[in-house]
Structure 1
Amino acid sequence: MRAKYNTLIIPYYISEVPLYCILKRKDMEIWQFVAGGGEGNEPPKMGASRELCEEIGICGIDSILIESLDTIGSVPSKFFEDFQESWEDGLYVIPVYTYAYKMTQTKLKLSDEHLDYRWVTYKQAMELLYFDLDKTALWELEMRLKNNV
């Protein structure tokens, strides 16, 4: 059963400057970060780890290595019509938990949900990302990296 939350995970790689991995969704043809919902009673960080495996082929990650971000958001439940029957009436939004994951490689195995991926700078990501929540989480991560937090 689909859990009542979503995760957003920013894969990043430290080169001369931080690079961020954005994915082009096949269904909407927009750029975003790794994202997806939890399953069953799966805690959000475990869901984030599973999504990294499913969407970009980075598997077997200890969820302790996934960094929690402070950025919070929500998504209208109407975008999850397939799951609404199992959710109670009056559930209008679901929370989105945001994370970052420091990559040790840049080669990925992309899922069928996506058309392409790119490693981009902060500025390039801000120009290409579609969702405001992705941009806010990216800004937070960029500031954390600049301030060594």
Structure 2
Amino acid sequence: MPTLTAPRRAPCQVLVLPFRKTGSDTEYALFRRSDSGDWQAITGGSDDGETLLQATKREMKEESGLSADTLPFPLQASATIPVSHFAAHATWSPLLYAIPEHCFAADATGQTLSLSPEHTTCEWFSYENARQHLIWDSNRTTLWETTERLRDGILLP
């Protein structure tokens, strides 16, 4: 009988910021990490063989319970993260020092979010309140770009 092994972590990261429309306002979902207490958007890695879209949708489902038909909107925001932040870096090339983080927004209007064990809570915030809770530049840039694109009406899948 074949042995099942966990997929190997690829050197790639995704970040997804869920938002919802509440009348004329927009709110943003942030998740409090159970290990550090930091507030952030949905983040996670891709597995070897996964496309960026597959990894993004899987992380959205795993960390927030967003439905499979929720479209992630790719953003121009991006970042790199030192490989030392990831346990899997020991399996990557020793010449790799930083991995790319690809950023997305996701319309969660009308959906109920759930928590993975990675988080202790999830809350909806206004732009200013979310900005004050975020410590990572990539999260703040993603929040800003999502807000600007929603204002301009050009958030496209």
TM tier relative to shorter chain: over 0.9
Question: RMSD of aligned C-alpha atoms?
Answer: 1.1
Structure 2 portions without partners, runs of 5+: 1-7
- Residue 14 of structure 1 aligns with which residue? 21
Match of 1:70 among 72, 76, 85: 76
Report whether the alignment pairs 1:103 with 2:111.
no
TM-score, normalising length: structure 1? 0.94
| Identity fraction in percent | 30
Report the alpha carbon displacement of residue 106 of structure 1 after superposing the two structures with TM.
4.5
Match of 1:119 among 99, 106, 124: 124
Tell me, in whole angstroms, the C-alpha distance in 2 between the residues paired with 1:41 and 1:59: 22
TM-score, normalising length: structure 2? 0.89
Report whether the alignment pairs 1:2 with 2:9.
yes
Q: Can you list the C-alpha shifts for 1:69-108, whole angstroms capped at 9, x where unaligned?
A: 000111000001x212221111100000000110132421
Report the alpha carbon displacement of residue 61 of structure 1 after superposing the two structures with TM.
2.9
- Residue 136 of structure 2 aligns with which residue? 131
Structure 1 portions without partners, runs of 5+: none
2:30·2:40 contact (CA, 8 Å) conserved in 1?
A: yes
Runs of 4+ aligned residues of structure 1 deviating over 3 Å after TM superposition are none
Tell me, in whole angstroms, the C-alpha distance in 2 between the residues paired with 1:66 and 1:52: 9
Q: How many residues align?
A: 146
Work out which of the two has the higher radius of gyration on C-alpha atoms and give 1 or 2. Answer: 2
